[in-house]
Amino acid sequence: MTFSIAGKTAIVTGAANGVGLAIGRHFLREGANVVFADMDEASLERQVGEQADEDATFRIFAGDLRERLTIKNLLSLTVDAFERIDILVNASRQMIAADPLDSENDAMETLLQQNLMTALRLSQATAKRMIKQADPEGDGPIGAIINLSSIAARRTHPELLAYSVSSAALDQMTRSLAVALAPKRIRVNAVAFGSVMSASLKGALKDNEEFREEIVDHTPLNRIAGPSEVSDAVQYLASDASSFVTGQIITVDGGRTLIDPVTAPAH
């Protein structure tokens, strides 16, 4: 069995920066066709857009995927460019820290919409396309959906109540869709990760060596992960190497959830 995704077509959301951008670039290096999707058009253009006309293996798509019409437009662009969709990576996520007792704060509503419902609707629409394009006489997997989750789903940080709940809901959505789509030969899995050296974490660590040390101290492997270490796990789940894996939440956290107390850093 191979980890190759060469020649497959993938949609990666949240792809204007951070882990989503790293996954999109990783997939390109591995020979996949990639649609980089994000709400932040300026960042998409800055990070990958300058090559879009020169490189036939990828496209960029800017739009608010909380809107159903935008999802339809994303799928249309992908199929028009590459004729099919083989992989969906729901990497668009948002984190909001808030007082859990503040009844006026709308963090829960915002994150359930952004981190859960957007992924659900896009997964449903993409699955329908995967089923439509599949060979009815075949018996192998016809598509893979990978959700990016967080170890916050299993930790208790009161100020991250909404983020933790949306992550836990995403994990359960992953399992439920995996069972629902298994008869259609579509696999659904998730990667839950801890501290990854993304742009946002770099900003939080800037001039704050104490914060860095605190994170490392709570990670048994004694370091912060690089984005490629998440990308590798996503590639495994997208490839035929995981052809009998579905409904699983793979944890990439350096062992942190084995020991992490409530007081550990939120990142």
Whether pLDDT at 1 is above 90 = no
Q: How far apart are CA 115 and CA 129, in angstroms?
A: 22
266, with CB counted inside 10 A (0-12, 13-18, 19+), is: middle
Q: Which residue has the higher pLDDT, 156 or 145?
A: 145
Q: What was the pLDDT predicted at 54?
A: 60
pTM over 0.85: yes
What would the two tokens of residue 231 be?
């990308």
Contacts of 56 (CB under 8 A, 6+ apart): none
Q: What was the pLDDT predicted at 261?
A: 57
Residue 95 CB: number of other CB atoms within 10 A? 19
Q: How far apart are CA 107 and CA 193, in angstroms?
A: 21
Q: What was the pLDDT predicted at 156?
A: 85
Domain boundaries of the chain, sorted by first residue: 9-258
- pLDDT tens for 49-100 read 766 656 689 999 999 999 999 999 999 999 999 999 999 999 999 999 999 9
Whether pLDDT at 210 is above 70 = yes
Which helix (H) or strand (E) element contains residue 214? helix 209-217
Q: What was the pLDDT predicted at 146?
A: 98
- pLDDT tens for 168-208 read 999 999 999 999 999 999 999 999 998 888 777 777 788 78
Whether pLDDT at 246 is above 90 = yes
Q: What was the pLDDT predicted at 199?
A: 73
- Read off φ and ψ for residue 40, nearest 5 degrees: -85, 90
Cα angle 195, 199, 29 (rounded to 5 degrees) comes to: 90
CATH architecture type of domain 9-258: 3-Layer(aba) Sandwich (3.40)
- pLDDT tens for 12-21 read 999 999 999 9
Q: Which residue has the higher pLDDT, 202 or 5?
A: 5
Q: What was the pLDDT predicted at 51?
A: 65
Task: Determine contact, residues 122/65, Cβ cutoff 8 Å.
Answer: yes
- pLDDT tens for 211-244 read 888 889 889 999 999 989 999 999 999 999 999 9
Average pLDDT of the segment spanning 128-143: 91
User: How far from the centroid of its chain's Cα atoms is residue 45's Cα?
Assistant: 20
